[in-house]
């Protein structure tokens, strides 16, 4: 046997060994969304997990943020659910009710479960069986950002904490004054540029209704008619329509960053915690972080974010859970989240995030979590609830009749629930 033939046989044997190993590898599919920075971070986590677990391949499946639910629905229709999926917390009830997610507690390392904040547990728990179905490194909130230079120009009071939040009268009075300050093109950016394909409108504007004394749906009777179109809700959306009509709000066509864009043309911003890092870099000492105003009898703020669940379709839920546990502990993943001003959902991450600790620049955001945060309705009809509400707000901002738009949305929600026979067992919770 010549050396050339021997080499060929050895190469063939090695190739066969590699193919055999590749075939033996377990593939875990992970469906996710996120901006390019997060996509890159998830890719790096997957590589580190594969290096630590050479018998597992992680296949990342990206879906654009504003088309995520459509892509997930397509995966459901084609019976190609991934093993691990990122999901927006308010959709959890619908996914669990539909049978897509499995309880995650037995699959996640105990020290991570013990590390979850109360809000993180709440956003991952299905209210009917009280089981935990998802876990995340983070949670979320929205605050009122201000430009110190403009606020000082009008002599505005700057709240020290949640209990000191602006009243509705103060807020609207300041918007009027800010509209007359040189350099201010718009008194406030409410990030209308996010459009109606994301959760932004329901997530960020829903608390304005709750603060005003109403809600998207009655959370005991699970009826929207009589709640979403009640007088307090009509009054709250009429107030917001007036801001738009007066030209106080950055229009959708102007994008999403006018508060910290060049020249700082917007004086205030009703913005998520995730813009802090970029806004602070642009505004330096001029950035002020305040609690959301009180628009009625109580303060209200949003919570809930994108968290990780394991689907019922997974053939390897133990390995899927191992990957989620690995990711939530991954140092580089946490470092990126911290630099992105991510809102803590794990106590250990909070302790490592001076941004949110007492005295930190975003401390008021973390204070809202325990004092004013109200989760979006945890009901299987949530996709119908948020779709109807966002459509109504869009119509109202474009000049539609407030009462008529909210009544039509409320009727759509109730029709969806009736068409699904009350989404049992939710119909038994009255």
End residue of a domain, out of 351, 366, 388: 351
Strands (E), 6-124: 26-32, 56-62, 84-88
User: CA–CA distance from 268 to each of 144, 190, 261, 264, 330 (Å)?
Assistant: 7, 9, 12, 10, 36
**86: which residues sit within 8 A by CB, 6+ positions away?**
30, 31, 32, 33, 34, 306, 307, 308
End residue of a domain, out of 334, 351, 368: 351
Torsion sign across C-alpha atoms 393, 399, 403, 404: negative
| Tally of structural domains, the chain | 2
Name the pLDDT band for 6 (thresholds 50, 70, 90).
very low
Residue 8 lies in a domain: no
Residue 370 lies in a domain: no
Residue 263 lies in a domain: yes
Whether residue 419 has pLDDT greater than 70:
yes
- Nearest alpha-carbon partner for 84 in 135, 156, 145: 135
Residue 7 lies in a domain: no
164 DSSP 8-state letter: G
pLDDT 10s digits, 79-132: 999 999 999 999 999 999 999 999 999 999 999 999 999 889 999 999 999 999
Cα radius of gyration (the chain)? 24
Beta bridge partners of 125: 132
Name the pLDDT band for 429 (thresholds 50, 70, 90).
low
The range of the structural domain enclosing residue 319 comes to 25-137+303-351
pLDDT 10s digits, 242-261: 999 999 999 999 988 899 99
Question: For residues 142 and 270, what is the distance between their CA atoms, to the nearest angstrom?
Answer: 7
Whether residue 5 has pLDDT greater than 80:
no
Using DSSP, state whether 87 is helix, strand or coil: strand
pLDDT 10s digits, 155-205: 999 999 999 999 999 999 999 999 999 999 999 999 999 988 889 999 999
**361: which residues sit within 8 A by CB, 6+ positions away?**
276, 280, 287, 289, 355
Q: Provide mean pLDDT across the span 335-361.
A: 91
Question: For residues 274 and 403, what is the distance between their CA atoms, to the nearest angstrom?
Answer: 33
Q: In terms of DSSP H, where are the helices of 134-270?
A: 148-153, 168-178, 200, 206-212, 231-245
Using DSSP, state whether 379 is helix, strand or coil: coil
60-68: long-range pairs with CB below 8 Å, 24+: 60/30, 60/32, 61/29, 61/30, 61/31, 61/32, 62/32, 62/33, 62/34, 63/31, 63/32, 63/33, 64/33, 65/33, 65/34, 65/35, 65/198, 66/195, 66/197, 66/198, 67/197, 68/33
Task: Please tell me whether residues 297 and 328 are part of one structural domain.
Answer: no
Per-residue model confidence (pLDDT) at position 2: 42
Per-residue model confidence (pLDDT) at position 196: 84
Task: Please tell me whether residues 320 and 293 are part of one structural domain.
Answer: no
Whether residue 33 has pLDDT greater than 90:
yes
Task: Please tell me whether residues 345 and 386 are part of one structural domain.
Answer: no
Per-residue model confidence (pLDDT) at position 428: 79
Task: Please tell me whether residues 252 and 130 are part of one structural domain.
Answer: no
Percent of the chain at pLDDT > 70 equals: 94
Question: For residues 221 and 22, what is the distance between their CA atoms, to the nearest angstrom?
Answer: 54
Name the average pLDDT for the chain.
93
Place of tokens 């943020």: 65
Task: Please tell me whether residues 210 and 286 are part of one structural domain.
Answer: yes
Residue 50 lies in a domain: yes
The enclosing domain of 342 has a CATH number of: 3.40.190.10
Per-residue model confidence (pLDDT) at position 19: 52
Task: Please tell me whether residues 323 and 230 are part of one structural domain.
Answer: no
Whether residue 409 has pLDDT greater than 70:
yes
Residue 396 lies in a domain: yes
Task: Please tell me whether residues 177 and 309 are part of one structural domain.
Answer: no
Task: Please tell me whether residues 208 and 257 are part of one structural domain.
Answer: yes
Residue 294 lies in a domain: yes
pLDDT 10s digits, 131-156: 999 999 999 999 999 999 999 999 99
**321: which residues sit within 8 A by CB, 6+ positions away?**
104, 106, 107, 108, 310
- Cis upstream peptide for 425 (omega within 30°): yes
Task: Please tell me whether residues 133 and 170 are part of one structural domain.
Answer: no
User: CA–CA distance from 356 to each of 238, 285, 318 (Å)?
Assistant: 34, 17, 33
Mark 115-127 as b/e (b = at least 16 C-beta within 10 Å): bbbebbebbbbbb
Whether residue 3 has pLDDT greater than 60:
no
Q: Provide mean pLDDT across the span 355-376.
A: 92
Mark 14-33 as b/e (b = at least 16 C-beta within 10 Å): eeeeeeeeeeeeeebbbbbb
Per-residue model confidence (pLDDT) at position 383: 95
Task: Please tell me whether residues 255 and 392 are part of one structural domain.
Answer: yes
Task: Please tell me whether residues 292 and 193 are part of one structural domain.
Answer: yes
Whether residue 9 has pLDDT greater than 90:
no
**Helix crossing, 331-339 with 317-329: angle to 10°?**
60
Residue 54 lies in a domain: yes
Q: What is the pTM of this model?
A: 0.89
Per-residue model confidence (pLDDT) at position 427: 80
Question: For residues 355 and 357, what is the distance between their CA atoms, to the nearest angstrom?
Answer: 6
Whether residue 13 has pLDDT greater than 60:
no
Name the pLDDT band for 23 (thresholds 50, 70, 90).
low
221 DSSP 8-state letter: T
Q: Provide mean pLDDT across the span 292-312.
A: 96
Task: Please tell me whether residues 105 and 219 are part of one structural domain.
Answer: no
């Amino acid at each position: 046997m010549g050396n050339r033939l021997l080499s060929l046989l050895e190469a063939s044997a090695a190739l066969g060994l590699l193919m055999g190993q590749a075939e033996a590898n377990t593939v875990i599919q992970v469906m996710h969304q996120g901006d390019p920075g997060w996509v890159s971070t998830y890719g790096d986590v997957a590589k580190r997990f594969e290096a630590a677990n050479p018998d597992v391949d992680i296949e990342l499946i990206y879906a654009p943020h504003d088309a995520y639910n459509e892509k997930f629905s397509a995966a459901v229709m084609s019976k190609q659910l991934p093993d691990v999926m990122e999901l927006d917390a308010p959709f959890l009830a619908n996914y669990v009710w539909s049978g897509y997610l499995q309880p995650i507690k037995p699959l996640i390392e105990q020290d991570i479960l013990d590390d979850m904040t109360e809000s993180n547990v709440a956003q991952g728990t299905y209210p009917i069986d009280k089981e935990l179905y998802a876990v995340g490194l983070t949670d979320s909130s929205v605050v009122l950002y201000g430009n110190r230079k403009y606020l000082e120009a009008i002599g505005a009071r700057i709240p020290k904490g949640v209990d000191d939040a602006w009243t509705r009268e103060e807020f609207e009075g300041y918007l009027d004054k800010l509209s007359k300050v040189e350099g201010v093109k718009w008194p406030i950016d409410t990030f209308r540029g996010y459009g109606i394909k994301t959760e932004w409108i329901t997530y960020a504007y829903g608390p304005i209704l709750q603060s005003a004394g109403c809600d998207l749906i009655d959370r005991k009777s699970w009826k929207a008619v009589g709640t979403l179109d009640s007088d307090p809700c009509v009054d709250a959306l009429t107030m917001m329509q007036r801001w738009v009509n007066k030209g106080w709000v950055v229009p959708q066509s102007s994008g999403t960053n006018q508060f910290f864009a060049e020249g700082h043309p917007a004086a205030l911003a009703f913005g998520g915690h995730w813009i802090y890092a970029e806004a602070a870099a642009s505004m330096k000492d001029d950035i002020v972080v305040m609690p959301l105003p009180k628009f009625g009898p109580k303060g209200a703020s949003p919570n809930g974010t994108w968290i990780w669940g394991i689907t019922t379709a997974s053939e390897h839920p133990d390995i899927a859970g191992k990957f989620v546990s690995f990711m939530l502990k991954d140092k580089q993943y946490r470092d990126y989240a911290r630099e992105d001003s991510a809102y803590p959902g794990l106590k250990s991450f909070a302790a490592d995030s001076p941004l949110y600790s007492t005295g930190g620049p975003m401390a008021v955001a973390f204070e809202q979590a325990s004092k004013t945060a109200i989760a979006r309705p945890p009901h299987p009809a949530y996709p119908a609830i948020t779709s109807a509400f966002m459509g109504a707000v869009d119509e109202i901002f474009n000049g539609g009749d407030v009462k008529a738009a909210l009544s039509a949305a409320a009727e759509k929600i109730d029709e969806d629930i009736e068409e699904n026979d009350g989404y049992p067992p939710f119909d038994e919770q009255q």
